[in-house]
């Protein structure tokens, strides 16, 4: 018995005095995700990757707003949002203390403006995402004159592109058939 007591006194305290003293976390600790809305392009990759559905995206097509929201009460600190974010807008912090007196304090929300389709006038894509794609294309070496054409194509919603694609195909069909008949 004295040997055990002597050993316990030699080891000292095995626990820390948290919460009375700050707790030091290990390097690489995955804590509360911190979002930089200036860098975010509202692509929604984080919402798709979130296994706990803590991150959600909602559209208000009448006002032209895409709302991004995270509920820290559901977050499991897995880090998937940080991994898939193409702009690095999400980083995991060492903060793990999320106690709040009201549930609303655990929400973080941001709104992003949507771009209208040039043909039908409907909102369809976040403006920041469109600018990010155009900048990436320009950085990839797209010539300056083609960027104006690319912008016009990118600012058309998928439904109008499908309709235009069908109309273009139908218009070009008689010419293609005529050319084939002329050859034969």
Q: Is 88 left (phi over 0), alpha (psi -120 to 50) or beta?
A: left
Q: Examine residue 88 and state whether it is found in any structural domain, yes or no.
A: yes
55 falls within a domain: yes
Asked whether residue 5 is assigned to any structural domain, the reply reads: no
> Residue 14 falls within a domain, yes or no?
no
Query: Does residue 6 form part of some domain?
Result: no
Q: Identify the residue whose tokens are 């008689």.
A: 174
Q: Is residue 4 part of a domain?
A: no
Question: Quick one: pLDDT at residue 30?
Answer: 92
Residue 161 tokens read as: 């592109």
Range of the domain at 166: 23-171
The two beta strands, 90-92 and 33-35, are antiparallel
* Residues 55, 43 contacting (CB under 8 angstroms): no
Give the distance, in angstroms, between the CA of residue 91 and the centroid of all CA atoms in the same chain: 12
Q: Is residue 176 part of a domain?
A: no
Instruction: Tell me if 181 is assigned to some domain.
Output: no
Q: pLDDT at position 5, please?
A: 85
Model confidence pLDDT, tens digit, residues 114-123: 999 988 999 9
Residue 88's pLDDT band (cuts 50, 70, 90): very high
pTM, entire model: 0.75
Please determine, for residue 174, whether its predicted confidence score (pLDDT) is greater than 80: no
- Count of domains for the chain: 1
CATH code where residue 46 lies: 3.30.70.20
Which pLDDT score is estimated for 150?
Answer: 83
């Amino acid at each position: 018995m004295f040997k055990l007591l002597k050993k316990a006194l030699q080891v000292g305290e095995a626990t820390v005095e948290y919460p009375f003293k700050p707790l030091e976390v290990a390097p690489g600790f995955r804590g509360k995700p911190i979002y930089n809305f200036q860098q975010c392009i509202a692509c929604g990759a984080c919402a798709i990757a979130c296994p706990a559905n803590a991150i959600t995206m909602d559209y208000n097509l009448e006002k032209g707003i895409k709302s991004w929201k995270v509920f820290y009460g559901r977050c499991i600190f897995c880090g998937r949002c940080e991994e898939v974010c193409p702009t690095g807008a999400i980083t995991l912090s060492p903060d793990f203390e999320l106690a709040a007196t009201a549930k609303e304090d655990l929400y973080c929300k941001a709104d992003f403006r949507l771009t209208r389709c040039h043909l039908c006038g409907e909102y369809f894509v976040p403006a920041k995402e469109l600018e990010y794609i155009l900048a990436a294309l320009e950085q990839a070496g797209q010539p300056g004159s083609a960027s104006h054409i690319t912008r016009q194509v990118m600012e058309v919603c998928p439904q109008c592109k499908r309709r235009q694609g069908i109309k273009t195909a139908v218009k070009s069909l008689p010419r293609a058939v005529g050319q084939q008949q002329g050859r034969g």
